Amino acid sequence: MLELRNTTKKYEIGSFKQAALNGVDLAFKTREFVAVLGPSGSGKTTLLNLIGGLDRYDEGDLLIDGKSTREFSDQEWDSYRNHEIGFIFQNYNLISHISVLANVEIGLTLTGLSPEERRKRSEEVLGRVGLIDHIHKKPNQLSGGQMQRVAIARALVNDPEIILADEPTGAIDNETSRQIMELIQQIAKDKLVIMVTHDEAVAKGYANRIVSLSDGVVTDDTRPPEVTVPDNGALAFDKTSMSFLQALKLSFSNLKTKKFRTLITAIAGSIGIIGVALVLAIANGMNNEIDELERTTLAEFPLQIDPRPIDIDAMQGGPFERHMNEEDAAFDEEIIYPLEQEFGPPSTHTNDIDDDYMQHLEALDESLYNEMSISYDVNMNLLKDLGDDIINIDTNDIGFDSTLSDETFFEENYNLLAGDTPEGKSELLLIIDSQNRVDAELLEAIGLGAEEEIPFETMLEYDFHIAYPDDYYIQDDNTGRFAPVQDKDALIGEDTLELNITGIARLDEDAPGGFLTPGLKYHPDLEETYLERARTSDIGEAQLESDVSVITGLPLSESAKEALLKELGVDSTPAQIQIYPVDFSAKNTITDHLDAYNTDKEEEDEIRYTDIASIITELSGDIIDGISYVLVAFSAISLLVSSIMIGIITYVSVLERTREIGILRSLGARKRDILRVFNAETTIIGFTAGLFGVLIATGLTFPINRLIAYLVEDLENLASLPLFAAAGLILISIILTFTAGLIPSSIASRKDPVSALRVD
């Protein structure tokens, strides 16, 4: 039982309020066929829309089974429309991009029935209206009468109590009209049908009650029921809702009708994704390449324990910045300050290598490394016989270091150009630079002019002499001080060790890095022998005991004494240790062992090692990351632009689908369901754009890799997009387009259903 009480609806046009309905009192029985008759503009459609809950009355009330609807929520109106009302419109209001069957089913999709049940019921009603052969056609493939039958089927499919028909035959020819009217008359046998018409003949011919309307007031009612409205308590309808999957389906079928536009949108949306994906693919490839380098080529690079280990962070800051960043860096404009210059790689830590640490190193499994080379600060007495003179060579001038005793590492990274590698303490190796140069001071030291060009064979003929401390230093009986021997001729004849240059080598141009500076290199055995002799030498023993220099007689500070002892070779605390791992996993075991030493130590007592390989890879990794960030930022701009564009396209789609929104709302769809339909649409576009982007980028990596392989030797299949990055990008694309579509979607959901239906 339905009852309108003093119901009024006014429309505001400018400052003028026009009453479309003006105090209507009407009651309807559960089963009757009521025709609402009246001229155009008399308020017939307004009346139907109010009864159907599509529009809201301003004053008065609408009672359903005796319950007032004044306090109805939006949700309750939506349920009411979906369960109680079936609308039939003059212009059919079918959704053109889906099939006849889908048009009928759509009212059921909001009720939560199973797909099979929905289909069965829809086919049933389509059979009842005589359209079973046309269920797979699109609405525009049908005649007007047939379309109205679809609309009738859609109105019936939910089995509502009330059918509201607004001039259902207004656009149909007479003969077809008759058939439609008979169908409606049939329906009215067990439902309340309220039909609006301006055709008196139609009203009189089929309806069993005629309500006449004029200027928003009821002027006549042929058969008003006796109003007995029982109060049946609260009204309860099942809630309507559209699942996201259903919304996806609807949006998908809509997008299918606009294939070209969807394609263009998705491609445009994918451009940003392509950019980001390519940057990621190349960065990933380069990082992989570096990791691979670290695992293979660089794995045998030594771990180095230096007195002042390289501090990678300080290195990136640079010595200048470090100076400026010191806390007490405030200074007076007109005063000059000394700057403690540091040479070599920047360092913030001092390693105090002691016996304790050496024992810790000895505990290392020897099979983990090829070689552990230890070097000292000893300054050996190196002499050169120039024929007419015997000179002392300052070992610092000629790069006089221990050779790498790890043969494998040496062979892999250096090219032996002449002779052999040193095999004992009396053999020397000359390292020359990439253009076969050595320091001019070295050439001068060995008696060759700086300008000369020296053939390899000539170089291999040169020899030197090492004088052990006891032979080199003579103690003065009076002063007790030590001085270098005067008669070096005699010394060279008997008490020195002769050294010969036996080989010439150069760093391989493909080697990732080398540790031998150009100059003369000796075999580690030489150092060992020299240290042994130095420890037991007279000068050594004397200096150990004395706090003044036994050479100059001047007093020594503690650190100066320590340095002197090291220089003389008495204190054989290592200056530097290099460990050459056998492979990458051995290296990790070794670093774990080295780290273990520091676990319980104060920070200043830690002994830190330098992993040159990882410094190389970390630095390159940081550079690659830095470049990637910049490139990704650029691509992100195009991503943003395409998102905005997708937002606009969604808005256009909203405008185009205004009528569909009205239809869905008349069928009981909630605002949220409309929101869902459009969100589903942007989700599909976002997904497609993301997928396109990832696929196109993956496709592009092939020519890019060919190009890279062509430009850089040994760099094949560099760019590759990791799977998680691909998935992430698709997700980002969905999120972006979804977000961009939120504004137009919410505009769509807030559209007033009545005005939405009015749009053609």
Closest listed residue to residue 229, CA positions, set 505, 461, 5, 414? 5
Least distance from ligand ADP to the Cβ atom of residue 44, Å: 4
Under DSSP, is residue 212 helix (H, G, I), strand (E, B) or coil? strand
Angle ∠(526,528,530) on CA atoms, nearest 5 = 70
Residue 662's binding partner out of ligand ADP, Mg ion, none, with CB under 5 to 8 Å set by partner kind: none
- Name residue, tokens 């060009």: 453
Integer angstrom CA distances of residue 558 from 320, 520, 554, 604, 627: 31, 32, 13, 20, 50
Question: Residues in contact with Mg ion, total (CB under 5 A)?
Answer: 1
Closest distance to ligand ADP from the beta carbon of 752 (Å): 8
**Which of ligand ADP, Mg ion, none interacts with 174 (beta carbon under 5 to 8 A by kind)?**
none
Reduced to 3 states (helix: H, G, I; strand: E, B; else coil), residue 184 is helix
Name the β-bridge partners of 85.
Answer: 162
Least distance in angstroms from the C-beta of 163 to ligand ADP: 17
Which among ligand ADP, Mg ion, none contacts residue 275 (Cβ within 5 to 8 A by kind)?
none
Complex with ligand ADP: residue 217 or 511, whichever CB lies closer: 217
Nearer to ligand ADP, 60 or 469 (CB): 60
Residue 39 C-beta-side C-alpha neighbours within 13 Å: 3
* Structural contact between residues 60 and 20, judged by C-beta atoms closer than 8 angstroms: no
24 phi/psi in degrees, rounded to 5: -90, 125
Whose Cβ is closer to ligand ADP: residue 43's or residue 469's?
43
6 binds, among Mg ion, ligand ADP, none (CB under 5 to 8 A by kind): none
Q: Which two tokens stand for residue 759?
A: 């749009």
* Residue 13 contact, options Mg ion, ligand ADP, none, Cβ 5-8 Å cut-off depending on partner type: ligand ADP
Phi-psi region of 144 (alpha: psi -120 to 50; beta: other; left: phi over 0): alpha
- Distance of alpha carbon 489 from alpha carbon 147, whole angstroms: 123
- Residue 46 contact partner, candidates ligand ADP, Mg ion, none, CB within 5 to 8 A by sort of partner: ligand ADP
Task: Report, in Å, the least distance between residue 167 CB and ligand ADP.
Answer: 8
Residue 417 or 759: which CB sits closer to ligand ADP?
A: 759
Helix (H) or strand (E) run with residue 77 in it: helix 74-84
Stretch near Mg ion under the rule CB under 5 A, chosen from 43-51, 463-471, 482-490, 539-547: 43-51
Residue 43 interacts, among Mg ion, ligand ADP, none and using kind-specific CB cut-offs from 5 to 8 Å, with ligand ADP
What is the DSSP code string of 194-255?
EEEES-HHHHHHH-SEEEEEETTEEEEESSPPP-----------PPP---HHHHHHHHHHHH
757 binds, among ligand ADP, Mg ion, none (CB under 5 to 8 A by kind): none
Q: How far is the CB of 20 from Mg ion (least distance, A)?
A: 10
Rounded Cα–Cα distance for residues 285 and 92 (Å): 59
The C-alpha angle 68, 71, 74, rounded to 5 degrees, equals: 115
Choice between 123 and 167, CB closer to ligand ADP: 167
Minimum Å distance from CB 238 to ligand ADP? 30
Look at residue 38 and give the partner it binds from Mg ion, ligand ADP, none, a contact being a CB closer than 5 to 8 Å depending on partner kind: ligand ADP
Q: Which does 42 bind (CB under 5 to 8 A by kind): Mg ion, ligand ADP, none?
A: ligand ADP
Least Å from the CB of residue 1 to ligand ADP: 24
String of DSSP letters for 440-453: HHHHHHTT--TT--
Residue 261 to residue 126: CA distance in whole angstroms:
33
Where are the extended beta strands (E) located within 208-272?
209-214, 217-221
The Cα-based distances of 133 to 136, 172, 299, 545 in angstroms read 8, 21, 76, 117
CB 577 within 8 Å of CB 348: no
| Min CB(139)–ligand ADP separation in Å | 24
CB of residue 46 vs ligand ADP: minimum separation in angstroms?
Answer: 3
In whole angstroms, the minimum distance from the beta carbon of 41 to ligand ADP comes to: 4
Least distance in angstroms from the C-beta of 45 to Mg ion: 3
User: Cβ(431)–Cβ(519) under 8 Å?
Assistant: yes
Name the binder of 744 from ligand ADP, Mg ion, none, CB < 5-8 A by kind: none
CA distance 75 to 80: 9
Of residues 509 through 538, those in contact with Mg ion by CB under 5 A are none
Nearer to Mg ion, 34 or 694 (CB): 34
Part of the chain binding Mg ion (CB under 5 A), chosen from 44-52, 129-137, 218-226, 429-437: 44-52
Q: Could you tell which of Mg ion, ligand ADP, none binds residue 523, using a CB distance below 5 to 8 A set by kind?
A: none
Residue nearest to Mg ion (CB): 45
Of 41-49, 498-506, 629-637, 644-652, the window that binds Mg ion (rule: CB under 5 A) is 41-49
Choose the one of ligand ADP, Mg ion, none that binds residue 41, judging by a C-beta under 5 to 8 angstroms depending on kind.
Answer: ligand ADP
Helices within 519-611 (DSSP H only): 524-535, 538-545, 558-568, 584-598
The entry of ligand ADP, Mg ion, none near residue 318 (CB within 5 to 8 angstroms by kind) is none
**Residue 178: both structure tokens together:** 């008759």
CA-CA distance, 273 to 643, in Å (whole number)? Answer: 11
Binding span for Mg ion by CB under 5 A among 40-48, 289-297, 678-686, 716-724: 40-48
Our CB check for Mg ion shows the closer of 167 and 377 to be: 167
Q: How far apart are the first and last CA of the chain?
A: 34
Contact 233, 666 (CB under 8 A): no
- Which stretches does DSSP call E strand in 81-178? 85-88, 162-166
Nearer to ligand ADP, 72 or 89 (CB): 89
- Looking at the Cβ atoms of 213 and 694, the one nearer to Mg ion is 213
Name which of 120 and 758 has its Cβ closer to Mg ion: 758
The residue (of 45 and 93) whose beta carbon lies closer to Mg ion is 45
Nearer to ligand ADP, 43 or 668 (CB): 43
Contacts of residue 358, Cβ cutoff 8 Å, sequence gap at least 6: 574
For the record, the structure tokens of 709 come out as 């392989």
Residue 487: both structure tokens together = 């008669």
**Residue whose CB is less far from ligand ADP, 92 or 357:** 92
Work out how close the CB of 79 gets to ligand ADP at its nearest, in angstroms, rounded to a whole number.
24
Helix%, strand%, coil% for the chain, nearest 5: 50, 20, 35
Indicate the residue among 18 and 479 with the shorter CB distance to ligand ADP. Answer: 18
Cβ distance to Mg ion smaller for residue 198 or 535: 198
Closest approach, Cβ 233 to Mg ion, in A, equals 35
Taking CB under 5 A as the rule, does residue 45 contact Mg ion? yes
Choose the one of Mg ion, ligand ADP, none that binds residue 154, judging by a C-beta under 5 to 8 angstroms depending on kind. Answer: none
Cβ 638 to ligand ADP shortest distance, Å = 43
Closer residue to ligand ADP, CB minimum distance, 55 or 385: 55
Cα(691)–Cα(697) distance, rounded to whole angstroms? 10
Number of neighbours of residue 141 by Cβ within 10 angstroms = 12
Shortest distance in whole angstroms from residue 188 CB to ligand ADP: 21
Q: Catalogue the E-assigned strands of 394-453.
A: 401-402, 414-419, 427-432
Least distance (Å) between residue 18 CB and ligand ADP: 6
CB distance 275 to 696 below 8 Å: no
- Residues making contact with ligand ADP (CB under 6 A): 11, 13, 18, 20, 38, 40-46, 755
Contacts to Mg ion by CB under 5 A: 45
